[in-house]
């Protein structure tokens, strides 16, 4: 059984639309924050940061979704890499992870569950993260992800609110996982034909080990590009930082299959909801419909968008390219204007 045929939507495209999510959250009375809570959900950052001491803070996040690929072990790898990414996006290192598993016992064999957990375990072993347990339920559809805890120095957090004017924007992975995996679900592609995309989604966004401490401090802000697309996540960074992010369309890295699948109209609901979410805050200086769609494409286990001190950008990019061959300088941070994001 092909896992993508067991669900209506898969991966980060299954997220609740950002506009609806904001409406819901605005009506919830959350507990009063502890002074040691340095980052909460108020700015739609990637993870929460809780200060434990002067030199230690916890990074906490969770992520889970329905199958985005057909192979169970590969689904486990992608889900794990995607979950760990939020910790990396805050400048932290993940330490422990717990599984979130919903499994349809009546329709899928136990081996599927074993393979999903093994794929996730393999990623955590490579990332030196401890897999410490989790929780499972019998459900109608398969869902899997992780709750992750990591460490970061309280003064070295890569919050999405710290982008500075003049910073260079670096994107570590290509765009297009949403449209390519939509083609897979429509059975217009096989997994064998989309190896580049699968390898990218299964790759962890670990970057700190590539950098010197000085270079790490040169990264002022970060976010990982997932279900709300480049447009949505960059808008959230710009809003939080009270800046405008300016991108060059021709520099945005895309998977080779992305434009092919967009031409075939292999789209998800998230392409539309991401466009609606950003429509009043985004200026796209292109008449190409596909140029616009790639900005709204819901990424699963997408790359990090880094806001980097200009004098260190080239050195940092060289280091990143050792692991992320498609990492690219894609734009700059400018003073706040009428739009939070401008794409030339």
- Domain extent, residue 93, equals 3-156
Helices (H) and strands (E) in the chain, counts: 11, 13
Which range (38-42, 51-55, 89-93, 135-139) has the least confidence? Answer: 38-42
Per the domain annotation, does 180 fall within a domain? Answer: yes
User: Domain boundary residue among 114, 134, 156?
Assistant: 156
From CA 90, how far away is CA 152, in angstroms rounded? 8
246 pLDDT more than 90: yes
For residue 256, give both structure tokens: 């080779």
Same domain as 107, residue 60: yes
Residue 1 is predicted with a pLDDT of 80
Residue 42 is predicted with a pLDDT of 86
Per the domain annotation, does 161 fall within a domain? Answer: no
Give the torsion through C-alpha atoms of 153, 159, 165, 168, to 10 deg.
80
Same domain as 205, residue 127: no
Which of these, 152, 340, 344, lies nearest to 241 by C-alpha position?
340
> Which residues, including other chains, have CB under 8 Å from residue 23's CB and lie 6 or more apart?
none
**Residue predicted with more confidence, 298 or 33:** 298
Which of these, 200, 82, 207, 206, lies nearest to 147 by C-alpha position?
82
Residue 108 is predicted with a pLDDT of 96
Q: Decide: 214 and 319 in contact? Cβ < 8 Å.
A: no
Cα 58 to the center of its chain, rounded Å: 20
Query: Which DSSP symbol is given to 33?
Result: P
Same domain as 174, residue 61: no
105 pLDDT more than 90: yes
Same domain as 281, residue 211: yes
Residue 127 is predicted with a pLDDT of 97
| pLDDT 10s digits, 51-92 | 999 999 999 999 999 999 999 999 999 999 999 999 999 999
Query: Which DSSP symbol is given to 254?
Result: B
User: Domain boundary residue among 126, 156, 186?
Assistant: 156
Residue 243 is predicted with a pLDDT of 98
Across 30-54, average pLDDT: 93
Across 106-125, average pLDDT: 97
Across 332-343, average pLDDT: 96
Per the domain annotation, does 91 fall within a domain? Answer: yes
**Any alpha helices (H) in the chain, and if so which ranges?**
18-25, 72-89, 110-126, 177-185, 195-201, 213-217, 229-241, 258-263, 269-278, 289-296, 313-320
Residue 2 is predicted with a pLDDT of 93
Per the domain annotation, does 163 fall within a domain? Answer: no
Please state the domain count of the chain: 2
Which range (4-8, 31-35, 72-76, 313-317) has the least confidence? Answer: 31-35
Which of these, 224, 207, 231, lies nearest to 292 by C-alpha position?
231
User: Mind telling me the catalytic residues?
Assistant: 12
Which of these, 125, 56, 137, 55, lies nearest to 97 by C-alpha position?
125
3 state SS of 146: strand
The sign one gets for the Cα dihedral 325, 331, 332, 337 is negative
From CA 100, how far away is CA 136, in angstroms rounded? 6
Strand partners, 80: none
43 pLDDT more than 90: no
* Average of per-residue pLDDT values in the chain: 96
33 pLDDT more than 90: no
List the Cα angle 64/160/35 in 5-degree steps: 90
Strand partners, 53: 56
3 state SS of 142: coil
Residue 32 is predicted with a pLDDT of 85
The CA–CA distances, whole Å, from 83 to 149, 167, 187, 201, 277 equal 10, 27, 26, 11, 23
| pLDDT 10s digits, 180-213 | 999 999 999 999 999 999 999 999 999 999 999 9
| pLDDT 10s digits, 292-320 | 999 999 999 999 999 999 999 999 999 99
CATH number at residue 103: 3.30.1330.10
Percentage with pLDDT > 90 across the chain: 95
Q: Decide: 239 and 340 in contact? Cβ < 8 Å.
A: yes
| pLDDT 10s digits, 143-188 | 999 999 999 999 999 999 999 999 999 999 999 999 999 999 999 9
Same domain as 125, residue 30: yes
Q: Decide: 274 and 231 in contact? Cβ < 8 Å.
A: yes
Which of these, 99, 83, 111, lies nearest to 137 by C-alpha position?
99
Same domain as 227, residue 173: yes
- HSE-CB of 278 using CA atoms within 13 angstroms: 30
């Amino acid at each position: 059984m092909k896992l993508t045929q067991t669900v209506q939507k898969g991966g980060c495209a299954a997220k609740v639309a950002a506009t609806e999510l904001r409406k819901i959250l605005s009506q919830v009375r959350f507990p009063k924050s502890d002074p040691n809570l340095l980052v909460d959900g108020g700015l739609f950052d990637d993870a929460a940061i809780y200060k434990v001491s002067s030199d230690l803070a916890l990074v906490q996040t969770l992520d889970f979704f329905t199958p985005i690929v057909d192979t169970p072990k590969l689904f486990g790898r992608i889900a794990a890499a995607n979950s760990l990414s939020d910790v990396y996006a805050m400048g932290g290192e993940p330490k422990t992870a717990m599984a979130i598993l919903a499994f349809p016992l009546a329709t899928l064999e136990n081996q599927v569950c074993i393979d999903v957990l093994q794929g996730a375990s393999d990623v955590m072993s490579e990332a030196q993260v401890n897999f410490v347990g989790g929780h499972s339920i019998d459900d109608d559809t398969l869902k899997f992800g992780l709750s992750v805890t990591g460490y970061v120095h309280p003064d070295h957090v890569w919050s999405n609110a710290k982008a500075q004017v003049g910073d260079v924007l670096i994107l570590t992975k290509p765009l297009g996982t949403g449209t390519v995996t939509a083609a897979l679900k429509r059975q217009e592609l096989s997994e064998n034909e989309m190896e580049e995309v699968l390898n990218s989604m299964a790759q962890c966004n670990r970057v700190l080990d590539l950098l010197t401490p000085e270079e790490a401090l040169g990264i002022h802000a970060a976010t990982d590009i997932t279900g709300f697309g480049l447009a949505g996540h960059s808008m959230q960074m710009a809003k939080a930082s009270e800046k405008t992010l300016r991108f060059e369309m021709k520099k945005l890295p895309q998977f080779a299959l992305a434009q092919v699948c967009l031409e075939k109209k292999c789209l998800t609901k998230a392409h539309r909801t991401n466009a609606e979410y950003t429509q009043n805050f985004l200026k796209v200086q292109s008449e190409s419909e596909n140029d616009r769609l790639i900005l709204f494409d819901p990424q699963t286990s997408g790359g990090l968008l880094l806001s980097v001190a200009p004098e260190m950008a080239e050195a940092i990019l060289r280091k990143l390219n050792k692991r992320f061959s498609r990492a690219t300088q894609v734009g700059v941070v400018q003073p706040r204007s009428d739009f939070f994001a401008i794409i030339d």
